[in-house]
Amino acid sequence: MAEHAHTPPPHTPKVHTSKVHTSLAHDSAPLHVSGTALYADDVAEPAGMLHLAFGRAPHAHAKIVSLDLSAVRAAPGVVAVFTAADIPGDNNVAPVARDDRLLAADEVVFMGQPVFLVAATSAKAARVAAKLGRIDYEALPALLNIAEAKAAHSLIEASQVMRRGDMAELAAAPHRIQGALEIGGQDHFYLEGQISVATPMEQGGVHLLCSTQHPSEVQHLVAHLLGVTSADVTVEVRRMGGGFGGKETQASLFAAAAALVAAKTGRPAKYRADRDEDMQITGKRHDFTANYDVAFDNEGRIRALRLELASRCGCSTDLSPAINDRAMFHADNCYFLENVEIVSHRYRTHTVSNTAFRGFGGPQGMLAIERVMDAIALHLGRDPLSVRQTNFYGPERNLTPYQMAVTDFVADRLVEELKTAADYDVRKAEIDAFNASHPYLRRGIACTPVKFGISFTTSHLNQAGALVHAYVDGSIALNHGGTEMGQGLNTKVAQIVADVFGLGLERIRITSTRTDKVPNTSATAASSGTDLNGWAAWNAATTIRERLAELMAARNDVAADSVVFEGGVVRAGDEVLGFAEVCRLAHLNRISLSATGFYATPKIHYDRKTHTGRPFLYFAYGAAVSEVLIDTFTGEHKVLRADILHDVGRSINPALDLGQIEGAYLQGQGWLTFEELVYDAKGRLLTHAPSTYKIPCASDRPAVMNIHLWRAGDNREPTIHRSKAVGEPPFMLANSVFSALTCAVAAATGDPRPTLDAPATPERILRAVKGSSL
């Protein structure tokens, strides 16, 4: 575990007892393990609570010809039934393009789309009644996958192109190869499903207790849907049982349904989706195809690359433009591409609208370039790691395809340290010997790096607010615009605030995120939760601390910057008072003990028309070595060992960061090996429950797993306490698993370009080993 001496950010007031750079328990850990942590469904239901269910379309694409809901309204327990005609305002739950409907009006555009909404006295009554609707449809042709959408030229927006250099180099280099890769989607499978509880308030207002990563977006969409102002809608989030991006935009559908019923009936309403429904009607990670044409020299150095990416966006725009942009941003990963053309197609299909997922397009772009590296190495008969190192960014080779200079590159140092620590060379030789002597099993090993840009690529989202109260007893109430989904954001921000006041963490009370406390927040996403909200909370707490320092300085005729906050006391000259005494003194002297804080990320800018600029404040880095074993008879595999070295800058809480790295790697492993989304010929999702959709479990964790924070980690940019983001970057460490499997398949077949796609299920591994006829 990495430990670092504390160096405050620029202009930090004097605080001599640090609460940051310290491993402290998650603030809700005792509640989690005792079962007393309150989630939305745990809150006691008031009298008259209505439970909701959608009546959903059985077609991927169809016109609604007629709608008969008389049997639904007559069903036992049903209180009300609503259609699109009952929505008083804007029938929209989309974040940007206004092309997602709460309830379909004339046409359905994906299998399972909500058409009507049932409110009943119990969840069972609502779900039973929702199946009684009599709806006549006129089926229309449906585009279900990338190939069909490509043939129909069905796009959510124009294809984007990012290029630099001279593509004539493709024909000039000593070697040139082409290849393709299919990359599957992924369901978020958060443990707490989608849920919202709406309570009508006076004067037409509504309060929403919601499991969402983006309370302000839910607030604004619900206000527009109800035809009221945003000030009439309050959204509250205490915690989520996981999000992973699946509650960034998708929560709005369920919140809007609950709010509509509460507004129409005057009764509280709850929408709690069951697992099947949740998986059928919420968006997933975008599945991609990648086609490459690469030219390189005898050392494996890329001379030119043309990369064509295509994704299935689904039936609406959602966040697909930004997600596909980020795939382009990360198609270089750690490699300098002097002559490059990256083309990105964003296809509209009649499937559920795909959405944000941890990594936000970055994993797909990064996996594509890692396949290129493996293909070059296998073509030349070289170690893939040496090819990767040959192509690394360097002092004279530091410009990305979007014209941002990489000035903080450390992946080369990380990889060298990890290579030694993981005994890569020795193990590689042992694996080669094993493969040469064993008739049925094959092993593979790979070391892959990660370079992940940190900031929202939509510039205006890079802002945050916070609200801090100090009470006269010396306790602190902390509120900020971020949301807690298990990642430990609240704990880190509380550590930052405790550090400002020189208090123990037990004096900081973290309160629910609420839109009536901190307005106009950005989503807790893009790995920016601590970067943004930590700075905002620091600014708020520092404002109060400086007021207290000035009070104590005036009492003792000393300079304000000499006042020290340490160990729960305040020292000014010869006077030492407890923090609570100072707060009481401030109150008696009519000094405010409350402050707001705000932070906006500096330096970033981006021109989407030219795909050039600086979309990121900095990069987070990491590297992983993974070793796998495949059975050439069955296609089954195991990940035997993983060694990880990750750069989190100067970690605010090393224990939380290590947990995030381990979880991200395993979630990435699941995406690349066995989490498979399967649709039938009509567009019906067949893998919509734990019985058919497999996520990683304890037995899938490598038997040997060594995770370390990089001791030399720092951040040249002025992030809060010089830390770096940790939420998304380690997800891509699992690319090493896929590359190791690719090498194992190549060892089994002798094929320099094995046709292994992701996820590398047993069927796909067996097909790659035995041939496409299987």
Question: Would you please indicate which residues are annotated as catalytic (active-site) residues?
Answer: 728
Can you give the three-state secondary structure of 309-363, one letter per residue? Answer: EEEEEECCCCCHHHHHHHHHHCCCCCECCCCEEEEEEEEECCCCCCCCCCCCCHH
H-helix or E-strand containing 447? strand 441-454
What separation in angstroms does the CA of 132 have from each of 71, 84, 108, 140, 374?
Answer: 6, 18, 18, 23, 54
Residue whose entry in the numeric block shows the structure tokens 């069903």:
75
Q: What is the DSSP letter of 567?
A: T
What stretches of 511-623 show up as alpha helix (H) in DSSP? 529-556, 579-588
Report d(CA 523, CA 404) in Å as an integer.
25
Report d(CA 567, CA 19) in Å as an integer.
10
At residue 26, φ and ψ (nearest 5 deg) are -55, 135
Q: What is the DSSP letter of 28?
A: T
Tell me the residue ranges of DSSP E strands in 560-611: 564-566, 569-572, 575-578, 594-600, 605-607
Can you give the three-state secondary structure of 537-559, one letter per residue? Answer: HHHHHHHHHHHHHHHHHHHHCCC
Q: By the 8 A CB rule, do 742 and 368 touch?
A: no
Report d(CA 465, CA 518) in Å as an integer.
6
Q: What is the DSSP letter of 378?
A: H
Q: By the 8 A CB rule, do 117 and 55 touch?
A: yes
At residue 626, φ and ψ (nearest 5 deg) are -125, 140
H-helix or E-strand containing 129? helix 123-130
Report d(CA 70, CA 250) in Å as an integer.
30
Question: Do the bridges between strand 160-164 and strand 134-139 make them parallel or antiparallel, or are there none, so unpaired?
Answer: unpaired
Residue whose entry in the numeric block shows the structure tokens 């923090």:
579
CA 288 to chain centre: 17
Question: Which amino acid, 750?
Answer: G
What length is written for the chain?
A: 774
Which residues, 6 or more positions from 444, have their beta carbon under 8 angstroms from its beta carbon?
431, 627, 628, 630, 739, 740, 741, 742, 743, 744, 745, 746, 747
Report d(CA 594, CA 38) in Å as an integer.
27
* Residue whose C-alpha is closest to residue 696's, from 159, 252, 187, 34: 187
Q: What is the SS3 assignment for 730?
A: helix
**% helix, strand, coil for the chain, step of 5:** 35, 25, 40
